[in-house]
Amino acid sequence: MAPVLAGFAAVAAANTLVMTVAERRRELAALRLVGATRRQVLRMVHWESALVAVSALGLGTAIALVTLFPMIDGLFQAPPYIPPGLYAAMAAGVAGLTLAATTIPARLLLARQERRPS
C-alpha cells in the first residue's frame, strides 16, 4: 500500500510543479526580453528546483520524526531508525522528480517562445 500512496503523492507533486512552471510563462518571457540567455533562465529554474527539493526533504524528515518518534519510543523504547540507503534513495527520487518536473516544462516553454514570430 505504501508504494501506491507514494506514487500518488509523486504524481500530485509533479503535477503541481509542472503547473507552477506553466503559470510562470510570462516571467520566463520577461527574463528573456531583458537579456537573460536561455541557459541562464534554465540555471535559475534548476536552483529553484534544488531549493524546493531540499525544503521538501527537510520538512518531510522533520514531520516524519516528530510523528514517529513518540510512537516508536513508546513501543520499543528506542529512537526511530531510517536506513541510510533508503533515505538516500528517497532523497535522490525527490531531487530527480523535482528537477524533471520543473526543467522539462521550462525547456518546452522557452522553446515555444523562441519559435514565436515577433
pLDDT in tens for each of the 118 residues of the chain?
888 998 999 999 999 999 999 999 999 999 999 999 999 999 999 999 999 999 999 999 999 999 999 999 999 999 888 899 999 999 999 999 999 999 999 999 999 988 876 5
Beta carbons within 10 angstroms of residue 8's beta carbon: 10
Domain assignments of the chain as residue spans, ordered by start: 2-115
Q: From the centroid of its chain, how far is CA 96?
A: 8
pTM tops 0.75, yes or no: yes
* pLDDT score for 3: 86
* pLDDT score for 1: 83
* pLDDT score for 117: 65
Surface-to-core class of residue 106, CB atoms within 10 Å of its CB (0-12 exposed, 13-18 middle, 19+ buried): buried
Joined together, the cell numbers standing for residue 99 give 528537477
What DSSP line would sit under 15-82, residue for residue?
Answer: HHHHHHHHHTHHHHHHHHHTT--HHHHHHHHHHHHHHHHHHHHHHHHHHHHHHHHHHHHHHHSS----
